[in-house]
Amino acid sequence: MDLRLWDPALDFDSFLSLIRRLDASLSEQLAKEAFIKLQNRNQKVEIETLLANICGSESETIDFKVSMFKTLYIEIYQKHK
């Protein structure tokens, strides 16, 4: 990924490009929901925030994709009820 903590915060297009390098199967809608959850007041995702949510102990990251999909599904499903 070639990210450094001091790199500028990511706008959505940069975030989407980066996330797709990690998981090409991730839809734009799910990436957008993740972006919304991680964005700061300037509507950008700080590198430190992104790394903190992707990296961590094995128990925190082993099923990151599954837990993220589950959380997003519940939130999206409940919004449309």
DSSP character string of 60-76: HHTTHHHHHHHHHHHHH
Q: Chain-centre distance of CA 23, in angstroms?
A: 11
What is the pLDDT at residue 80?
64
Domain coordinates in residue numbering, the chain: 12-79
Mean pLDDT in each 10-residue stretch from start to end of the chain (81 residues)? Answer: 83 93 88 91 92 67 67 75 57
Q: What pLDDT is recorded for position 22?
A: 85
- Residue 69 CA: distances (Å) to CA of 9, 15, 50, 73: 24, 17, 16, 6
**Average pLDDT along the chain:** 82
pTM, two decimals, is 0.65
